[in-house]
Structure 1
């Protein structure tokens, strides 16, 4: 279980996240939604203990800030938005980094079991034929799948995803979300993802956290949170009727 209570966090002494509390159970997929700049990514970084926070974030009753970095890496994995690649590792080597928290020493080699896990997860994202290719030569969509495979190889209790469907076509967006859903349910894990596409949120989420101006506005099922009046208030747009109008155009085609 992940318990977040009265969290404040931000940058340069300015709070972006303000008094956010939420509980996420094992086996649950939580989607965080809200307009740009509302604090979604900052909340993920707080959960990953990348930035300092005030309040409490506990995994199975243990405070996140008390964990050393190596142990934390076996508990939480963060996949951020792709920015820039600095080192030309192969697909295999990149995914293999996910196993390093489990090595007994800094200079230890991967075990046969570790190597099998790496290959298994490269296959899971349909990149086995490219395992020896440099990641600097991949498309954005392929690179996103490499980083997903690395997270799966890391096998944390919680996967945090910041706009994970960026750079992916529709087919691979759905495959990625289905992989994450299966991973969470089969392994009794937690997935928390920031998504902008509310159709994908409806498809993927067990529960939804809506944020605005750094605060938690609503939490619950997608049916309860993504209601017409709240969406219009937060986004300044009648999203439901807009989507229904688009659906009518599909019916004509």
Structure 2
């Protein structure tokens, strides 16, 4: 499903990722670990088609940089760690934004019943259908994360990518998010790729992982095999 070969990324003259290589099969989940500034967010931005890169990122045998954003959005949905709200849409309208990839006619036309029903289904799936008429600005951090998750589901993606999704969430909200995503991937057709800083959270919810240090992979495989030495040389525990 996802094949990354000799991937490198830079910001100006600053090389951030160096010769990254790994494959991910459909239905497998992956956690990307590493300390601040190691290249985790850069990696998922490249996979999401948001950054230029050298090397290859193939998604279902298509090079990511050659896939039009409108089409890429049908494969990949991204949950950012940025929870700022710039427009106080209702919850329903926010989730409907995820459906416009599947609406071929004019986006200014009122969505038909099928689109409305699918948005309601997504809201029900994450347990916030009763909030559909509330404005985003009135929600807690955990509720808002569920709204953005519902919007991601509305895209009908094969992959959901999360960038530090546990930031700003209490423990209960963190657990609810990852329990839902674990269930979502049980059909073998869906995949979660998550950037995490919390090692214990990663081990509890993911089998496969990669550990980045200074833009390079120093570990990849089952997280149960991740050694204390690798962690101690990657993270600053002082």
Q: Shared fold by TM > 0.5?
A: yes
Query: Retained in 1: the 8 A contact 2:218–2:230?
Result: no
Instruction: For residue 15 of structure 1, report the CA deviation from its aligned partner.
Output: 2.0
Question: How far, CA to CA, are the matches of 1:46 and 1:151 in structure 2?
Answer: 18
For the 8 Å contact 2:207–2:224, the answer to whether it is kept is no
Q: Is the 2:28–2:188 Cα contact (8 Å) retained in structure 1?
A: no
Match of residue 17 from structure 2: 17
**2 CA distance for matches of 1:193 and 1:99?**
23
What is the root-mean-square deviation in Å for CA atoms of aligned residues?
Answer: 1.6
Cα 1:104–1:2 shift into 2, 3 Å? same
Give the match for residue 5 of structure 1: 5
Superposed CA deviations along residues 70-104 of structure 1, whole A, max 9, x for unmatched, are 11110111111124211111101111111111111
User: What's 1:156 paired with?
Assistant: 157
Matched residues in 1 for 2:125 and 2:144: separation?
14
Q: Alignment length, in residue pairs?
A: 237
Alpha carbons of structure 1 residues 220 and 46: separation in structure 2 relative to 1, 3 Å:
same
2-side partners of 1:3 and 1:106: how far apart? 35
- Contact conserved, 2:162 with 2:193, CA < 8 A, in 1? yes
How far did 1:105 drift? 2.4
Instruction: State the match for 1:51 in structure 2.
Output: 51
- The alignment partner of 1:209 has SS state of strand
User: Using the alignment, how far apart are the partners of 1:55 and 1:105 within structure 2?
Assistant: 36
What are the residue-to-residue correspondences of 1:60-209 with 2, within 5 Å?
Answer: 60-107=60-107, 108-186=109-187, 188-209=189-210
| SS of corresponding position for 1:164 | coil
Q: Distance in 2 between matches of 1:152 and 1:192?
A: 14
Cα distance in 2 for partners of 1:114, 1:23 equals 34
How far is the alpha carbon of 1:13 from its aligned partner?
Answer: 4.1
Structure 1, unaligned runs of 5 or more: 239-253
Q: Which runs of 5+ in 2 are unaligned?
A: none
TM score, norm. by length of structure 2? 0.94
Moved more, 63-72 or 100-109: 100-109
SS at match of 1:37: coil
Q: Which structure is higher in helix share?
A: 1
